[in-house]
Amino acid sequence: MGKLTCLILLLSFFSSRTSAQQTDHLVQFSGVIMTSDSLRAIPFANIIIKNVGRGTISNYEGFFSFVAKKGDTIGFSAIGYKDKQYVIPPDLGVEKYSIIQLMTRDTVHLPETVIYPWPTPEQFREAFLSLNIPDDDLERAKKNLERERLKALGLAMKMDANENQDYYQRQQAAKFYYNGQYPPLNIFNPLAWAKFIEAWQNGDFKSE
C-alpha cells in the first residue's frame, strides 16, 4: 500500500511540474493596432499565430487580446494595409505582454482612364444622327410605338398600389356623397349620351 501511495505522489509531482513548465511558456498577448501616419485605430484587423492558424481580430477601437506562447510569430493583416509580423520575445519573465502595432497603408495604383468627349454639341448631334441602326431593331421600335399597340399595352397594364388606393378612395367618396339617396342615372346624363353616340358612329359596338 505504501509503494502505491509513493508512486501516485511521484506521478502527480511530475505531472504538476510538466504543466507548470508548459504554463510558464504562455503569455497573455494584448495590444492596439493603429495607423502609422495618423495613429488611428484599425478595427477588425486579423491577428494570427503563424504556423498555427489560431488568433483573433481587433475590435472597433483596434484592441485585441489572446493567449500565445513565448517566441510565437504573430502576423497582422488588414484590408488596405501592408502585412506586419511580430515575434514575442522568448525570454519574457512576465505573464502579460502588450504592444502597439503600427501599420502602413498599402496604396494600389490603377492605370488611368482617359475619356475623350466630343468637342462640340453639334458634332455629337451629327454623329448620333448618323448612327447605323439595324433594320430589325428599328422596325421593332416602330411597332412598339404604334398607337394600337400602346393602347393594348395600357389596357393590359395593371394598376399599382397608388392607383388602387386612389380608385378605392374615389369609390368611398362617391358612396358617402350619395349616402341616403339614389345615385344619378347615366340615362339622364347628356354627356353620357354624347359619348354613346360618338362611340356608335365610330363603330365601337360592331362585332369583330
- Residue-wise pLDDT for 128-142, tens only, equals 888 777 767 777 777
Q: 111: pLDDT confidence band, cut at 50, 70 and 90?
A: confident
**What average pLDDT does range 9-17 have in this prediction?**
51
- The grid cell for 40 is 488611428
| pLDDT tens digits, 25-69 | 889 999 999 998 889 999 999 999 988 888 899 999 999 999 999
CATH number of the 22-103 domain: 2.60.40.10
Answer with the residue of higher pLDDT: 152 or 95: 95
How many residues does this entry show for the chain? Answer: 208
Q: Where are the beta strands (DSSP E) in the chain?
A: 26-35, 46-49, 54-57, 63-69, 73-77, 84-87, 96-103
Strands 96-103, 26-35: pairing is parallel
Does 125 have pLDDT greater than 70? yes
Q: Could you give the residue range(s) of every CATH 2.60.40.10 domain in the chain?
A: 22-103
Does 192 have pLDDT greater than 80? no
> CA 70, CA 18: separation in Å to the nearest integer?
17
Does 12 have pLDDT greater than 80? no
Answer with the residue of higher pLDDT: 21 or 164: 164
> CA 49, CA 34: separation in Å to the nearest integer?
19
> CA 45, CA 83: separation in Å to the nearest integer?
10
pLDDT at position 21:
47
pLDDT at position 77:
93
> CA 128, CA 120: separation in Å to the nearest integer?
13
Percent of the chain with pLDDT over 70: 82
CB–CB of 47/55 below 8 Å? Answer: yes
Nearest to 54 by CA among 74, 37, 39: 74
